[in-house]
Amino acid sequence: MFTPDFYLLLQVHAAATFYLVGLIWVVQRVHYPLFSQVGATEFPAYEQLHVRRITPVVGPPMLMEAATAVALVALAPADAPTGALWLGLLLLAAIWVSTALLQVPCHNALSGQFEVNAHERLVRTNWLRTVFWSARGVLVLHVLVSMRQSTG
C-alpha cells in the first residue's frame, strides 16, 4: 500500500521531472538553435554566460530528480509499478551520461569560439535528452495515475 510519505516523494519527483521536460524542450527547440544567430565575435562570451546562467536553473532540479528517483526505487511498496520506476531510473542515468559525454564536450568546444560542427552536434545529440526526459515524464505520469487508481 502506498504511504503518504511515498506519495509526497513521488510528487516532488514529478515536479522536478515535469519542470525538466519543459525546460529541455525550450532548450532544444528555441535556445540551442539560436546559438547560430550570435555573432562570431560575441559568441565565446555568450556561451560562457549561458553555461554560468543555465547551471543554477538546471542543476538543482536534476539533483532533486536523481535523488528522488533513487529513493522511489529503494522505498517502493510492493504494489508500486516498480518496472516503470526502474525504467525511469535507467532513462535518468542515460540522460546524465549523455550530458557528461555528449553535451558538455560540445559546450566546451563552443566556449572558445563558435564552431558549426560542435553546434550541430550539440543540437543533434540533445535530442537524446529531449526524448529520454519526455519518456520520463510519461512514466512519472503513469506512476501517478497508477497510485491514484490503487488508493481510490
The dihedral through the CA atoms of 141, 31, 122, 65 has a sign that is negative
Distance from C-alpha of 13 to C-alpha of 36, rounded to nearest angstrom: 34
Evaluate if residue 21 carries a pLDDT over 90.
yes
Q: What is the DSSP string of 34-87?
A: HGGGS-TTTHHHHHHHHHHHHHHHHHHHHHHHHHHHHHHHHH--TTS-HHHHHH
pLDDT tens, residue by residue, 38-74: 998 999 999 999 999 999 999 999 999 999 999 999 9
Choose the CATH number for 4-151 among 1.20.1050, 1.20.950, 1.20.120, 1.10.730. Answer: 1.20.120
Domain locations along the chain = 4-151
The x, y and z cell numbers of residue 75, run together, are: 522505498
Give residue 148's pLDDT.
78
Confidence category of residue 119, pLDDT binned at 50, 70, 90: very high
